[in-house]
Amino acid sequence: MDIEPLSTGEQLFEQWRRRGGLLLAPVVFVTLLAWPMPTLQPEAHRLAAVMGAVVVLWVTESLALPVTALIGASACVLLRVASAKEVFAPFADPLMFLFIGSFMLARAIFLHGLDRRLAYAVLSLRWIDQRPSRILFAFGAVAAFMSAWISNTATTAMMYAIGLAILAFLFDKKRPGSAAIDRRYATGLMLMTSFAASIGGLATPIGTPPNVIGLGFIRSMVGVELPFFKWLLIGSPIVLCMFLVLFAYLNYFCPAGVKRLEGSRELLVRERARLGPWTTAQKSTLFAFSVTAALWILPGIVALAAGENSTAYKSVTASVPEAVAALIGASLLFLLPGNQGHRAINWHQAKEIDWGVVLLYGGGFALGVLSTQTGLATAVGKTLTTWIPLDEGLVLLAASTLVAILVSEVTSNTASANIVVPVVIMVANQLNADPLEPAMGATLGASLGFMLPVSTPCNAIVYGSGYIPLGRMIRYGVLLDFAGAATIVVLVRLLLPLIR
């Protein structure tokens, strides 16, 4: 099947978007700096100019997102918005170390093939019985589960390779019965790879960077802590509902046209056998991850047993916060045995984690904290409430979720979270509404955005397969965007009061 790369028009749009950002950002900065803002303190005025330029660069992606975050933080020091100590303090926030520890665990899982072992073990189950619908369901379920713990992009890349192998086998012209398989099934399997991975990241705080970014703003600007276990109670039902909707419509719109995909199970069993027996490194990595997961969930179990006001719960949360649990698991990797006399992971392997996301979080969080300290957040909130008079909590929640989704369609999910979450908190505070609801809606909505190949790296990966016409990605992506928004709004509204 011929590959359908980005069209010439799409490539030109991307080029002009990036070039335009380099021209527009300085114009926005100078305009905001020169614009009279008598209600703002001088520091807040200068911060507004910096943030305006940063938002333009994030949306257009003219520079690497982490570089833009660092430039924004540095500009705040140069323009004396705050001292260097205050500006760079968020880079030492505990959530930074949650990123680092969980990324190292994910790196080890990927290096030692635990993700592939899980995928082939599930896909080769006898229950699946070579049924197209069951293969599609299991394929997506594996992607969603793994992306709750490791990078959505890494999950997509791994499942993409497995999916391509399955499709190459099914559509091999030399294989009897290949012509009877509907080509739409290939589209469904590839879209399931990307969409399920993006959905699964919502389940846990570490599933996708926007979750941690949102948690940081919620803690610093709202004053609410959402531990790992509490997040699970909201994120998991959202993932389950969205995944079922995704499977239902992909299974309906992308049928295989046959009742059984003959030979598919034999292919998967062979691939599983090629993995060989469990290695020492795989066992060590599984142990380190299990320890971390247990420590993440332990405070929730203690809270259920003894109550959140008990001495036991306070002691556990103070001694082993999520960041420390992640670092304990990562440290175990350097101590536990690996293959051929080595450790489960070494520093050369561990340092390959995505440091850019860590820096992006630090820079974005710094700008959010400064907006609160300088009074810019209050001023922006007041201005927006005069333009958008949202005086009902449900309406504000829905609007926050939809705006985050729309922004994530044209820029990265991490940038969307950095841009939208602090703004909706400001608006909610000015309306005397509960800021936690819209902040959660915006945080979760930032991880959606399924319409375009450029919306997420996951979409870009599967679009390159050539099995997905652009029109189908847009149609099915829009459908999932709206279903996701509705699911987030309803479940956040219903579940958030139960865990506060």
| Residue 452 lies inside a defined structural domain of this protein | no
Q: What is the mean pLDDT of the chain?
A: 85
| Residue 436 lies inside a defined structural domain of this protein | no
pLDDT band of 1, cuts 50, 70, 90: very low
Check pLDDT > 50 for residue 5. no
DSSP secondary structure letter of residue 220: I
pLDDT recorded at residue 120 = 82
pTM of the model: 0.78
The backbone torsions φ and ψ at residue 2, rounded to the nearest 5 degrees and listed phi first, read -70, 145
Tell me the per-residue pLDDT of 23-77, one tens digit each, with 9 for 90 and over: 999 999 999 999 998 888 999 999 999 989 988 887 787 888 789 989 999 999 9
Question: For residue 315, how many other CB atoms are within 10 A of its CB?
Answer: 12
Tell me the per-residue pLDDT of 126-148, one tens digit each, with 9 for 90 and over: 888 788 899 999 999 999 998 99
At 47, which helix (H) or strand (E)?
helix 42-60
What is the rounded CA–CA span in Å between residue 212 and residue 205?
6
Tell me the per-residue pLDDT of 195-239, one tens digit each, with 9 for 90 and over: 999 999 999 988 888 898 898 889 888 888 888 888 999 999 999
What is the rounded CA–CA span in Å between residue 60 and residue 38?
30
Query: Closest Cα to residue 187, out of 233, 109, 255, 101?
Result: 255
Give the domain extent around 160. 95-209+229-234+258-350
The total of structural domains in the chain comes to 1
What is the rounded CA–CA span in Å between residue 475 and residue 253?
11
Check pLDDT > 80 for residue 453. no
| Residue 448 lies inside a defined structural domain of this protein | no
| Residue 338 lies inside a defined structural domain of this protein | yes
pLDDT recorded at residue 345 = 94
pLDDT recorded at residue 113 = 85
**Structure-token pair, residue 462:** 């599967």
**Structure-token pair, residue 111:** 């290096």
Which residues on neighbouring strands pair with residue 204, listed in sequence order?
none
| Residue 190 lies inside a defined structural domain of this protein | yes
| Residue 317 lies inside a defined structural domain of this protein | yes
| Residue 246 lies inside a defined structural domain of this protein | no
Higher-confidence residue: 233 or 375?
233
| Residue 283 lies inside a defined structural domain of this protein | yes
pLDDT recorded at residue 2 = 38
pLDDT recorded at residue 3 = 39
List C-alpha distances in Å: 404 to 196, 332, 418.
19, 37, 10
**Structure-token pair, residue 85:** 């100590």
